[in-house]
Every structure is written in structure tokens, then in C-alpha cells.
Amino acid sequence: MTISLSSYELELIKKELKREPKEEELKVIDALWSEHCSYKSSKVFLRSLPSEGPNVVMGIEDWQDAGAVDIGDGYAIVMKVESHNHPSAIDPFNGAATGVGGIIRDIISKGARPIALLDMIRVGSLRHERNRWLLKGIISGIGFYGNSIGVPVVGGELSFDDSYTDNPLVDVACVGIVRKDKIIPSVVKKPGLKLVLAGLTGIDGLGGASFASRKLSGEDEIGAVQIADPFAGKIILDVTLEIADKVEAIKDLGGGGLAVAVTEMANGLGAIVNLDKVPLRVKGMKPEDIIISETQERMLYAVKDENVKEVCKAFEYYEYPCAVIGEIIEEPKIKFLYEGKEVVSLPSSLLLSPPIYVWDMKENGEQKTGEKPNVRIEDAIRSIVTSEDLVSKEWAYSQFDYEVGTSTVIKPGEADSSLLLLPNGKFLAIKGDANPDLCVEDSYECGKAIFAEAYRNLATVGARGAAAVDHLQFGDPKKPKVYAKFVEAIRGISEAARFFNIPIVGGKVSFYNENSKGEPIKPTPLIVMAGLSDKPFRPSIEEGLDIVLIGITRDEMRASLFTKIFGQYGKLPKARLSEDLISSEIVIQGIHEGKITYAKDISKGGLIGALWSIITKGYSVSISTDVITTAEDIYSKLFSENGGRFIVLTNDSQFFTKLAEKKGTIARVVGKVTKGSGIYIDSDYYDLSKEIDIYNNYLEARL
């Protein structure tokens, strides 16, 4: 196993300890101080994110495994997002599957029942064989774990870009539901509690946190990847929820294994752990391997002495290993013993106080832009609608069980956001959004834009955003241009979150995402937002409905799908958050008053991309570009991806034109839903039946 501690950090450790650290101790510190666990290169800037609000029950607090938000009637939702990028690049099946397992354990560690999963996947173009192998393994892994454990995968993203060829991004988000007064902390506040470990410890996942905190080397690092066992995960899920009222704290054994779980749970107090008591899958494991193993399907509980027997008895029913391995102590030291000898003895303060870094930053400068291309509208439309990002993802989500639990109202592929029925009768909308192409150009504008897009996506099913989590995925933070992009993305996200008054209750940072040539992935911050609605909504499309365009279309073409295909030119889209809010409120009101049958925000592919979602459901559309007077260029009218806009289908268009005027924006009838399989633009008709076949069969044909 490779230690990722720098020479500077090694000197800090020696100075603090006033002695040479043992090898076992270095491995413990390496796990706690890894970028994956400590956020040492990001913590300074993450503090700027708004994490508080009147409904926040548990926000971004030290060592809490997930955030929680009050949704009324005594309930709270619990949210978390994680990634398994590096493991999925080595072993896509187990990397993706254990990502699902880990995020589910984060949710149940709060005493919450998981009710929905989202997966956001980015791989290189399917022109390359290895990317096809990666995608098939990733989808199989997610389906294997989610379907087996009984948590529906209700939505996500699947997109393609060559910058992810060697370093796929596999993000998984989970939402759970819990009674507000039953939320369990991840940390303890007093000594004397017993440490109870459920599950077997093996030799898989050794050094996983360190592995995730450095560049992929191209060498065989399969031992750092954990092995998935969803059937054991189901036992952990069911028993944890059964015993939640008998424990004082719960901690998932994820990155860093026992080293991190014990230290973070102790929360500045100390702990003594007897490694001989740890149930092992493999005989003869070295003590340091027991400490840092990241074997899945394990959970650590802090339990009062009088409740230990009852906790372990619940696991004994399933013949699942459960053992008292140690105790929380007042002395602020983390101690691991093996065969009666002290293998590790380190101050809690040292482990929980890694050095904090702020790396050099360098402005990326003005991105290159060229002349407006001379492309026929017909050719542009056909290229846009057959791009990998806009083809049907049914091949992927059909492999997931998205209806288990019977609370799914809107299924994958039906709308811009998922919608679930909650126990209190309200409806939960959830969506994840990123825009790497915009982030390459301007990560500050990108940070604002992706937050606004998530908000708009929830509006398309009648929900208002209530809470968010973020995941910030970048290359090597020591590279000044990469670090500048990271910092600017946080600035944009923070500004948008404050504007919409939506707290960010958790998140993750993933650095060192690079390809084999040392080139960073496109900067990929991700927002997962949850929102609430009192009204159920099921989208539907009918012939004869008016197509109303809400919002202002601008001549802002850079960073769009059009310019990705035909060459960058023109102005960069600027996030105008007030326009996103106003247009979203119009859509929400339209849904709640029964005036909308279908709503789609305008993003990837512009107006054509939004209309394509109607055409692929078996209809034609006719539109007039003359009424889109806010943009002068025909390419902008059809393909601009500037924010603040929706199309809605309605049989009462005057409702929207009047409401928009009242709220200070624009809503205009731009066309109608008709029969057929194409699009009428002004006086021209484009038959897209061949493109529909490509849309429906692209992934299966490639894979």
C-alpha cells in the first residue's frame, strides 16, 4: 500500500508526537489526512457554502454522515451524495456497486430508511471499447446492488465526454425518510460507551481512502477496491433501523475503515480498540490491515453497556457477526491493541487536525472562440438530436428497479425530475445536475447555472427546492488552473444557494481525476437538489396542445451542445438567477392550477433539445421562430442554452402570457403539438423518424 503523506506532513507528525511514528500509525494518519477524508485542500472554501436554515435539522457538521431537513408533520429527509470514481475506473462493477452500498449506509446511519437513489454517470465516448466496458460494468453494478437491497433508482444522468475516458465519474445520491426526533448522530459526546462492530473485515479495500486521494497510476490497484455484497447490506439496513433507538451513535465504515470511523465517532474524545475482537473474513490479517480495511457491509455503533446484548442479539438472528471491539474513553487518544500490545496510540487532536492547504491559483484566461459556423439548420438539428448526450437512456435505467417501495410517482425518462410520495402525503422531487462544458469556459457562471438548473428541474414537476448537496469533482488541486476553477465553482454555487435560500446540507470533494496523459477531467461540480410539493403531477402529451415558451432567449451560444459539435463562438451564457426564479414560479403555479400537462426546462440542446423530448414520445411539433424576438440569430433561437426558460404544454396559453407579464418576464405561444415524427420550423418540415430510431437504439447498438 502506498502512503500519500508528503515529506512536510511527515515532519509535522514527528514534531507533534516528539518521536518517530510506527508504520501502523502512519497508515492511520494517512487515512485520516487523505484528501478523501480530511478535505485539507478544500475546507477553507467549503466554509463559504450556506448550510443553515430554519428547516435544517442536521447540516454540514464535523463527521456527520449525512444532512437532514425538516419537511413537516414530524418528518425529516436525509440526503447524501458520494462518488466511487477511482474504484470504478479499476473495477467498474464493484466500484459502482459499493458506491451504492456506501451511500445507503450513510443514510441508515442517521436512523433513516432509504427511499430513493440517483446515479449520475459520466464516461468517455462509446466510440472507444474501454469506455463501453466501463459503462456496462458500472450499470450492472448499480443495478445489482440497488435491485438486491430494495431501494429504487429513480433517476440520474448519463453523459459522455472524452475527458472522462480514463477516469469515469460515478456519483450516487440517496434520500431517506425519518421521524425528526429519531435522527441518530454519528458522533458521541461522552465516554464510557461500548464500540460495537457488525460485519466481517477482510483484505479488500486496503488503503481505499489514500487511493481515492491521488492520481490513477495505471498500475494494478485492484486491492483498493471493495467487494459488494448487497445481501449482507440488506441485513445491515434492516437491523440498523431495528436497533436505532438502542444506540447512541452510528458510523458507516467507509473510507479509512476503522481508523476513520472510530476517530471521527470519538469526536475529540478517545477510544481503545482491541483488534483481536474484530470478526475477520480472512485469518492471519496484519493488525494495520484490520485497522484500515474498507471491507463493505460493516457498521460501527456506540452503545450503552446495558444495551449491548440486545443490539448483538438482533444480528445473531441473521447469523451476522457482531462484537464489542472497544470503548470510548475520556483520554483524547485513539489506541489500537493487538495481542495485548499497543499497535497505535495517537492523539485525537493530531488525527482530526490535518494541515489545511490553499494552493496557488491562476486564471484560466479567455477561452478561444471562433467565427459563427455556416451550418444548415437541418444538419444542425439532426446532429444535435443524435448526440450521445440526448439519446435514450432507457437501456440503463431499465436495468434498475425504480418502483420497489411503491412510492415512485414519476419514473425515469418521464420528466426532468423524479417525484415520490412521502409518508406525510407530500411529494418529494429530486434531481442532480452538472454542466462540464460550461465549467470549462467559466466555472463561476457554471456554479450558479447548475444550481439554477436543478431548481428549474424540480419546478417542472411542481416542486420548490428545499435542500441541496454538492459534489465537486476536479483534477489535481496543486495545478493552479484546476484549483482556480474549483474555487470559482464554489463561489458560484454559494451565490446561487443564498439567492434561492436553499441550504447545502452536505457534499463531497473529489480531486485527482485525470486521464492517463495527466490531463484533468472537465471540471464537474454537481448539485443534487430535493424539493417538496403538495400536489401530485403526472406529465402527459396530447395532440393540439399549445407549446408556450417561458423566459427570455438570448444570443449566448458558447458552451452549448451546438458549439461543442460545430465549434465555439459567441457570448457565454450568464446565469440570471432572478429569471430562473420567476419562470420557475410561473411553472409551479401552472402545475398547481392544472394548466400544464407537460413541462421541460431548456438546457442541453436549447429549444430543439427541449422539443426533442416531445418528438421522441411519438409526436411532431410545429414552431414559429418569428415570435422569439428576444434573440436575433436563428441558431440562438433554436440552440442557445441560456437559463431561465421552459417550454410548457397547455390548452390555456393566455394564463401564461398574462402571468408572465404580471411577473415581469415573457411567455409566448411558439407552436403546437401535432401528429407525426418530425418538426415544422416556420415553413420547413424535417422528418426525424430515422433520428428517433437512433435515439431509441443508440446505446444498445453501441454496447
**What gap in Å lies between CA 36 and CA 16, rounded to an integer?**
23
Contacts with 460 (C-beta within 8 Å, 6 or more apart), sequence order: 415, 416, 417, 587, 599, 600, 601, 646
Residue 702 annotated as binding?
no
Residue 105 annotated as binding?
yes
Residue 382 annotated as binding?
no
- DSSP class per residue in 506-560: EEEEE---B-TTSPBPPPEEEEEEEEEESS-------TT-EEEEES---S--TTS
Residue 128 annotated as binding?
no
**In the block, which residue shows the cell 470519538?**
266
Residue 633 annotated as binding?
no
Task: Name the nearest CA neighbour of 219 among 128, 89, 96.
Answer: 89
Residue 84 annotated as binding?
yes
CB atoms within 10 A of CB 281: 15
Residue 226 annotated as binding?
yes
**What gap in Å lies between CA 153 and CA 100, rounded to an integer?**
10
Say which of 84, 128, 471, 592 is annotated catalytic: 84
Residue 83 annotated as binding?
yes
Q: Strand ranges (DSSP E) for 124-218?
A: 153-160, 169-179, 194-198
**What gap in Å lies between CA 201 and CA 320, rounded to an integer?**
12
Task: Name the nearest CA neighbour of 149 among 225, 97, 109.
Answer: 97
**Edge-to-edge strand list for the sheet holding 427-433:** 408-410, 418-421, 427-433, 524-533, 464-473, 504-510
84 is annotated as an active-site residue: yes
User: Cell for 185?
Assistant: 448522530
Q: Which residues share a beta bridge with 56? A: 69
Q: Strand ranges (DSSP E) for 292-392?
A: 299-303, 322-329, 333-338, 341-347
Residue 276 annotated as binding?
no
Q: Are 53 and 504 within 8 A, CB to CB?
A: no
- Helix boundaries (H) for 267-334: 287-292, 308-316
128 is annotated as an active-site residue: no
Strand 322-329 with 270-274, pairing: antiparallel
Residue 64 annotated as binding?
no
Residue 603 annotated as binding?
no
Residue 510 annotated as binding?
yes
**What gap in Å lies between CA 27 and CA 2, rounded to an integer?**
9
Q: What count of Cα atoms within 13 Å lies in the side-chain half-sphere of residue 21?
A: 24
Residue 293 annotated as binding?
no
Say which of 36, 128, 471, 592 is annotated catalytic: 36
Residue 252 annotated as binding?
yes
Binding residues for Mg(2+): 82, 106, 252
Instruction: List, by residue number, the catalytic residues.
Output: 36, 84
Binding residues for ATP: 39, 80, 470, 507
Binding residues: 39, 80, 82-86, 105-106, 226, 252, 470, 507, 510
Binding residues for substrate: 83-86, 105, 226, 510
